[in-house]
Structure 1
Amino acid sequence: MANLSALLEDSVEKYADRTAIVFGDTRLTYAQVDGAANQVANLLVERGIEPGDKVALSCPNLPYFTIVYYGILKAGATVVPLNVLLKPREVAYHLADSNAKAYFAFEGTPDLPIGDSAWEGFQATDTCSEFFLIRMDAKWPEPLSPPEYFAPLVAKQPPTFETVERDDDDTAVILYTSGTTGQPKGAELRHRNMRDNALSGQDLFGADADHPDTYLSVLPLFHSFGQTVIQNGAFAFGGTVVMLPRFEAKPALDLMLREKVTFFAGVPTMYWGLLAALDDSIDVKTLAANLRVAVSGGAALPAAIHKEFKDRFGVTILEGYGLSETSPVASFSVYGQEPRVGSIGRPIPGVEMKLIQSDWSDVDDDPDAVGEIAIKGHNVMKGYYGRPEATEDAIKDGWFRSGDLAKKDQDGFYFIVDRSKDMIIRGGFNVYPREIEEVLMEHPAVSLVAVIGVPHESHGEEIKAVVVKNKDHDDVSEADLAAWAKEQLAAYKYPRIVQFVDELPMTSTGKILKRELS
């Protein structure tokens, strides 16, 4: 069946009693998840949702996310997952831009009132007609006034549903890009884009339904990495998803031990957090014995973290690369093969990559040549929803231009140099922050660093390093670190400005928000 929900339904057919989701003390089998998703599909059809309609979802890593996600797909509709940090005006923008007709939102917490923002944003949108508020306590009575509660509505629905057939090229999911350049755009991903990307776990990580993995879900499921590699990747091979709504290192380590986690996926800052949280109270030996696969994406992984994780866990982190527009995985280091530290690997099966110049022409086949990554294959989106001009700018003859600068070695391994927009031009020289960050991470006083360009009267831009210091290095000053960097780097590269901070601003997916630094 072309419908992406077949990932769930095929596993139900084969492994109905297997545990699909673990959340706290709650354990749901595949049959239970499927029945609950069928109830969501029935509710949507009852409310007039038709195949191809867009349905938005704001929910952290809770079983509700997966249940509603597959319920929307079963109804033949398109899932529009939204970042749970969006404010009301941003919610309204996404609902209007995607033409969403229905919206499911989790209530949130006092610190993060997702439901309040969702309801306010929904009320400001004319095109969206249905709103369902998901409460953690399913026993709440139906409200006398809007919004409507999710639990009593789905409880009335039968747990059986005949899934709506979809075409391979119909849109399954619209994932909104982070909007670092202008307003966020919705990447339209086909059923086949998402399905084939999830199934690539067999080639990339040795996924095997007869020996299913237990995945720790700390990456936000509304984001492409967690959605495909963890949720859909697990369901494709009858695995178990252990959910943690918000990444915190110690609870993550405790869950990894308790649930015997075999597959961990995270962004570099998460690995940094895990390593920092290891102490005598953690049974690292058992953790390491359970862990089969560790993968990283979202940003380049510093070599120092690579080495320390291998030393402590005995597992080599496999780096991958992709974007919302590529479902997301485009390249990966292959499980069982020795990766090249700092490399994002080679294109996954069925995908091609090359380096291009700004005019789309190919970059010379030279290991030192830097070019923009272009991607072609089963993972490339249909286009940006409702934006034909932006689609035309991004895709040419099936090739998608990524905006990321890279080099390629003689064996076809790609190495990210930087985002093209992050590149610093100092005195006419191109400076790649990633290279400087790698060097600074080698200093014992540096725990985490972000390098940015700041305006300069004569050089155009000056290089600045914003640093989180390791404990027990109070004796190292900002001037000391700048002097040390001067010894390690060419004169045009080293940061003249160093600033110590307690923490760096990050996105909900753990990426450092350089645009908030100055």
Structure 2
Amino acid sequence: MANLAALLENSVEKFADRTAIVFGDTRLTYAQVDAAANQVANLLVARGIQPGDKVALSCPNLPYFTIVYYGILKAGGTVVPLNVLLKPREVAYHLADSDAKAYFAFEGTPDLPIGENAWEGFEATDTCSEFFLIRMDAKWPAPISPPEYFAPLVAEQPTTFETVEVDDDDTAVILYTSGTTGQPKGAELRHRNMRDNALAGTDLFGADETNPDTYLCVLPLFHSFGQTCIQNGAFAFGGTIVMLPRFEAKAALDLMIANEVSYFAGVPTMYWGLLAALDESVDVKTLAANLRVAAAGGSALPGEIHKQFKERFGVTILEGYGLSETSPVASFSVFGQEPRVGSIGKPIPGVEMKLINDDWSDVEPGPDAVGEIAIKGHNVMKGYYDRPEATAEAIHDGWFRSGDLAKIDDDGFYYIVDRSKDMIIRGGYNVYPREIEEVLMTHPAVSLVAVIGVPNDQHGEEIKAVVVKNAGHDDVTEADLVAWGKEQLAAYKYPRMIQFMDELPMTSTGKILKRELS
């Protein structure tokens, strides 16, 4: 079956009673996850959702995410996962841009009111007609009125469903990724893109359904890394997912020991956190005996973390590389080999990579040759949703241009040397300065602004805005702009640092010289 939901359904056929998801004291078998996903599919069909319709989902790492995700796929819909940190203005943009017809949102907490932000964004969108609020604790007073609640609606639905047949090239998921033009764009990923990337685990690290791995899920499932490499990758081989909604190093270590976790994937800051949390109370010997695979991505992993992790856990961290547009994995370290620090590995099976110039011509090979990474293969997206011009700029003859500059060693290993896109990576999240600048420019005190990334030990990079004020706003402080930005932007996007300047350095053509800012 072409439908990405086959990853779940094939495992149900073979391993119905295996534990699929662990969350706290809750343990769900594959049969239970499948039955719950069928109820979601029946609900969507009852509400008029047709094959190909877009359905948005705002949910942290909870069993609800996986159940709703596969329920949407079973109904023939396209999943539009949204970052749970989005504010109402951002939610409304994503719903409208994706043409979402229905929206599932988890209630969140008083500190992170996902449901409130989702409802406010939904209310501001004309095209989205169905809203379902997922509540974990009915005793917590409902902050919104009058949404429909998820639990009683799905409880009325049958637990069986005939999964909708789709074409391999139909869109399974739309993942939003920001761009240098400011507004986020939706990368359309086909069923075959997502399925083949999940199944790559056999070649990349010896995934085996007869001896399945237990995966710790700390990477956000709304992001391509967690979605493919943890959720879909686990379900492809009948594995078990242990969910942790928010990364906390000590909690992660405790779950790894309690559940005999054999597969961990994270961004560099998570590895840094795990190593820092090791003390006498942690049974490192047991933890290391269980751990089989450690994968990293998002940004380059420092050599010292490689060294310390191998010493403490006995496992070599495998670094990979990819983008939302490539489902995401494009290259990966070679399993069983010592790491080449700074390398993102080699192209995965079924994927080609090469270095290109600005005009798409191939870079002449050589020891010092640097070019932009271009990617071709089963993982490359269909295009950007409803943006033919942006798609044409990004994909040429099946090759996708990544925006990342790299070099290749004699053995074919790739090394990122720079980003040609004006991008900041904060704690594993991609942040595009243009989007932040456009929001800050709407503040009455801001005349001109340049957003840059500055080195940060904890997050890799921190976001800094250099601002020229409008006349008459001398009373606006750095703290005022930080607080305002926090209200307007998701938590990983808003600038924590503000610097006021009388003028910004410019080229003769009026382009801001960001390299002169720090």
Superposed pair shares fold, TM > 0.5? yes
Tell me the TM-score normalised to structure 2 length: 0.82
Q: Residues 298 and 511 of structure 1 are in contact (CA less than 8 Å); yes or no, is this contact kept in structure 2?
A: no
1:157 counterpart residue number = 157
- 1:334–1:419 Cα change, 3 Å: same
Q: CA deviation at 1:341?
A: 1.8
CA distance in 2, matches of 1:186, 1:291: 35
Partner of 1:327: 327
Indicate conservation of the 8 Å contact 1:133/1:150, yes or no: yes
**Counterpart position of 2:387:** 387
Residue by residue, what CA displacement relative to the aligned partner does 1:67-97 show, whole Å, maximum 9, x if unpaired?
0000000000000000000000100000000
What is the alpha-carbon distance in structure 2 between the residues aligned to residue 515 and residue 421 of structure 1? 22
User: Is 1:223–1:509's contact at 8 Å kept on the other side of the alignment?
Assistant: no
CA contact (8 A) 1:142 1:148 kept: no
**Which residue pairs with 1:226 in the alignment?**
226
For 1:401, the aligned partner's letter is R
How many pairs does the alignment contain? 447
- Indicate the residue corresponding to 2:445 in structure 1: none
In structure 2, the residue matched to 1:274 is 274
- CA distance in 1 between counterparts of 2:318 and 2:216 reads 16
**Which residue of structure 2 aligns with residue 146 of structure 1?**
146
| Residue 443 of structure 2: aligned partner | none
What SS is found at the alignment partner of 2:343? coil
In 2, Cα distance between equivalents of 1:421 and 1:516:
22
Q: Call closer, same or farther: CA 1:254–1:82 in 2, change over 3 Å.
A: same
**Offset at 1:422?**
5.3
Task: Quote the residue 1:309 is aligned against.
Answer: 309
Which residue of the partner structure matches residue 490 of structure 1? Answer: none
Residue of structure 2 equivalent to 1:67? 67
Quote the Cα distance in structure 2 between the aligned partners of 1:85 and 1:142.
19
Deviation at 1:148, TM superposition (A): 0.2
The one-letter amino acid of 2:359's match is D
The CA deviation string for residues 180-212 of structure 1, in whole angstroms up to 9 with x for no partner, is 641000000000000000000000010000000
* TM-aligned CA deviation for residue 239 of structure 1: 0.1
1:118 and 2:118 correspond = yes
1:439 is matched with none
DSSP 3-state at the match of 1:401:
strand
Q: Using a 3 Å threshold, how does the CA distance of structure 1 residues 117 and 261 change in structure 2: closer, same or farther?
A: same
Question: How far apart are the structure 1 equivalents of 2:413 and 2:491?
Answer: 25
State the secondary structure of the residue aligned to 2:93: helix
Where do 1:296-375 residues align within 5 Å?
A: 296-375=296-375
The unaligned stretches of length 5 or more in structure 1 are 424-432, 435-451, 453-460, 470-504
Distance in 2 separating the partners of 1:179 and 1:356: 20
Question: How many Å apart are 1:468 and its aligned residue?
Answer: 3.9
Number of the residue aligned with 1:411: 411
What does 1:8-407 correspond to in 2, within 5 Å? Answer: 8-137=8-137, 146-179=146-179, 181-407=181-407
Deviation of the 1:420 alpha carbon: 1.4
Separation in 2, partners of 1:404, 1:515: 26
Alpha-carbon offset, residue 509 of structure 1:
11
For the residues of structure 2 that align with 1:255 and 1:58, how far apart are their CA atoms? 24
Take 1:97 and 1:511, find their aligned partners in 2: how far apart are those partners? 20
Tell me how far apart the structure 2 counterparts of residues 393 and 190 of structure 1 sit (CA, whole Å): 19
Judge conservation of contact 1:89–1:121 (CA < 8 Å) in 2: yes
Q: Cα gap change, 1:181/1:257 in structure 2, threshold over 3 Å: closer, same or farther?
A: farther
- Taking the aligned partners of 1:29 and 1:331, their CA distance within structure 2 comes to 32
1:144 shift after superposition: 11
- Quick check: 1:142–1:149 contact (8 Å CA) kept in 2? no
Shift of 1:151: 0.2
1:309 and 1:180, CA in 2 relative to 1: closer, same or farther beyond 3 A? farther
**Aligned letter for 2:285?**
K
Shift of residue 339, structure 1, vs aligned partner? 2.9
CA distance in 1 between counterparts of 2:454 and 2:247 reads 26
Q: What is the CA-CA distance between 1:366 and the residue it aligns to?
A: 1.1
What is the RMSD of the two structures over their aligned residues, measured on CA atoms?
2.7
Cα deviation, residue 418, structure 1? 1.9
Counterparts of 1:513 and 1:335 in 2: how far apart (Å)?
38
> Aligned partners of 2:205, 2:453: CA distance in 1, in Å?
38
Cα-to-partner distance string for 1:292-322 (whole Å, 9 max, x where unaligned): 0000011111111111111111100000000
Distance in 2, matches of 1:210 and 1:515, equals: 51
Amino acid of the structure 1 residue aligned with 2:207: A
Give ranges in structure 2 of 5+ residues lacking alignment. 426-432, 434-449, 459-485, 500-517
| CA 1:371–1:308: 2 relative to 1, 3 Å | same
- Three-state SS of the structure 2 residue aligned to 1:85 is coil
Separation of aligned partners in 2, 1:393 and 1:365: 24
CA distance in 1, matches of 2:150, 2:285: 43
Mapped partners of 1:94, 1:180: distance in 2 = 17
Instruction: Report the Cα distance in structure 2 between the residues aligned to 1:335 and 1:28, rounded to whole angstroms.
Output: 31
Give the 3 Å change call, closer, same or farther, for CA 349–514 of structure 1 in structure 2.
farther
Residue type of the alignment partner of 2:388: P
| Distance in 2 of aligned mates of 1:63 and 1:417 | 38
Query: What secondary structure sits across from 1:345 in the alignment?
Result: strand
CA distance 1:297–1:512, shift in 2 (3 Å): farther
User: Residues 313 and 242 from structure 1, CA distance in 2 versus in 1: closer, same or farther, beyond 3 angstroms?
Assistant: same
Offset at residue 139 of structure 1 (A): 8.3
What is the alpha-carbon distance in structure 1 between the residues aligned to residue 5 and residue 491 of structure 2? 25
Distance 1:464 1:291, change over 3 A: closer
Cα drift, residue 367 of structure 1: 2.4
**Preserved CA contact (<8 Å) 1:346 1:413:** yes
User: What's the CA shift for 1:179?
Assistant: 4.1
Q: Distance in 1 between matches of 2:418 and 2:289?
A: 35
What CA distance in whole angstroms lies between the structure 1 residues aligned with 2:453 and 2:55?
43
Query: What is the DSSP-based 3-state SS (H/G/I as helix, E as strand, rest coil) of the residue aligned with 1:344?
Result: strand
Q: Is the 8 A contact 1:78 1:173 kept in 2?
A: yes
SS of equivalent residue, structure 2 residue 344: coil
What do residues 391-438 of structure 1 show as CA deviations (whole Å, max 9, x unaligned)? 000000000000001110111100111211359xxxxxxxxx99xxxx
Deviates more, 1:46-55 or 1:130-139: 130-139
**One-letter amino acid of the structure 1 residue matched with residue 88 of structure 2:** P
Task: Indicate if the aligned counterparts of 2:224 and 2:324 stay in contact, CA closer than 8 A.
Answer: yes
| Residue aligned with 2:20, SS | strand
CA contact (8 A) 1:270 1:510 kept: no
Quick one: which amino acid aligns to residue 220 of structure 2? P
Whether the aligned pair in 2 keeps the contact of 1:219 and 1:509 (CA below 8 Å) is no
Paired letter, 2:334: V
Cα deviation digits, residues 161-195 of structure 1 (max 9, x gap): 00000000000000000346410000000000000
Q: Which whole-Å CA distance do the structure 1 matches of 2:235 and 2:495 have between them?
A: 32
Q: Distance in 2 between matches of 1:167 and 1:14?
A: 24
Any idea what SS the aligned residue of 1:359 has?
Answer: coil
Distance 2:247 2:144 in 1: 36
